[in-house]
Amino acid sequence: MPSPTPAPPVTSRGKPVEAPDRDGDRIAGLFDRAAATYDRVGIDLLPTAGRLLVAHARVDEGEHVLDAGCGTGASLFPAARAVGPRGSVTGIDLAPAMVERVRQQSAEHRLPWLRTYVADVEDPHRAALHAPAGGFDVVTAGMLVSFLRRPDRAFRRFRSVLRPGGRLALSWWGPEAPGWGRVVEATRPFGPGTREEIETAVPGQSPPLTPELVRRLADEAGFASVELYEERLEATFRDTGHWWTWTWSTAARAFWESVPPDRLPAARAAAESALAALRAPDGTLPYVLTANFAVCRR
């Protein structure tokens, strides 16, 4: 029988948060609430995906990089190390708490060529997309595009700040290993919305990305070529409690926040029951999913 459900590892305690008028503000609020534990629970998926994104983009010494939706720096810091002091890296994110974490780490690691701004790439009045003379060499967008309301506009804006021959490198999550969909099915009755709304978690998200959609968006925005890559990423949860803490540190917390507080223990119990079939003999939960990457050349 599942252990009693503790309070979520944040102050919200599962209570739905009042939604601001703008989708961008709702997403910013979501990631602000996740910032304290985001990428700090012993699961290395995002840092690994960030390093792979920079590698596929072939970021080089002396280049000028814009990291859109920088989060807590999964691709920002690898890019900063790659360009070195002769280059520059500008990170933007609409969640102030995420940007503050990056600024703290940047100061600790003494990276004066790294700058960060609170900005929404989809809002021309708030975004900091001011390119250096001649344009950015690279724009990176790690796990960002699925959260954009109008990815077509974002592709055009990214292309507009790139120099001729510059690259837009983006990533997005692909399928999980077989069996993990049971968790979504088991918990769906406890929250509002369709399966698709639960899986995407954040109101206002665009349709899930596919290689075909990325090619079309890049072509319509005027990019000259697209290179596609796929990587298999693995992680291990110590137990169901570790998984629970991790889900609250990600965008998936939006679903848990939508569950009425008095139903949250039952929702967690349903999830843990579905997870039981995925346990390894030692009690851990192996987790495998696909990360997709695209490099679009201007």
Tell me the C-alpha distance between 230 and 210, whole Å: 11
Q: Would you say residue 9 lies in a domain?
A: no
Do the Cβ atoms of 75 and 67 come closer than 8 Å?
yes
Q: Would you say residue 112 lies in a domain?
A: yes
Residues contacting 8, CB < 8 A, separation 6+? 14, 248, 253, 256, 264
Q: What pLDDT does 2 receive?
A: 32
Tell me which residue of 189, 275, 192 sits closest to 236, measured CA to CA.
275
Q: What pLDDT does 140 receive?
A: 98
> Which residues of the chain, if any, have pLDDT below 70?
1-23, 124-128, 193-207
Residues contacting 97, CB < 8 A, separation 6+? 31, 32, 35, 36
Tell me the C-alpha distance between 56 and 140, whole Å: 10
* β-sheet bridge partners, residue 91: 67, 116
DSSP sequence for 34-68? HTTTTT-SS--HHHHHHHHHHHHHT--TT-EEEEE
Q: Would you say residue 248 lies in a domain?
A: no
Q: Would you say residue 193 lies in a domain?
A: no
Tell me the C-alpha distance between 247 and 5, whole Å: 14
Q: Would you say residue 81 lies in a domain?
A: yes
Sign of CA pseudo-dihedral 115, 116, 121, 126: negative
Q: Would you say residue 167 lies in a domain?
A: yes
Helix (H) or strand (E) holding 185: helix 181-187
Q: What pLDDT does 205 receive?
A: 52
Structural domain containing residue 45:
23-176+206-236+286-297
- What Cα–Cα distance (Å) separates residue 64 from each residue in 119, 134, 162? 18, 10, 10
- Per the structure, the count of domains in the chain is 1
pLDDT digits (tens, 9 = 90+) for 204-249: 455 678 999 999 999 999 999 999 999 999 999 999 999 999 999 9
Q: What pLDDT does 131 receive?
A: 80
Amino acid found at 118: V
Q: Would you say residue 241 lies in a domain?
A: no
Q: Would you say residue 271 lies in a domain?
A: no
Identify the CATH number of the domain in which residue 91 sits. 3.40.50.150
Strands (E), 101-182: 114-118, 136-142, 162-176
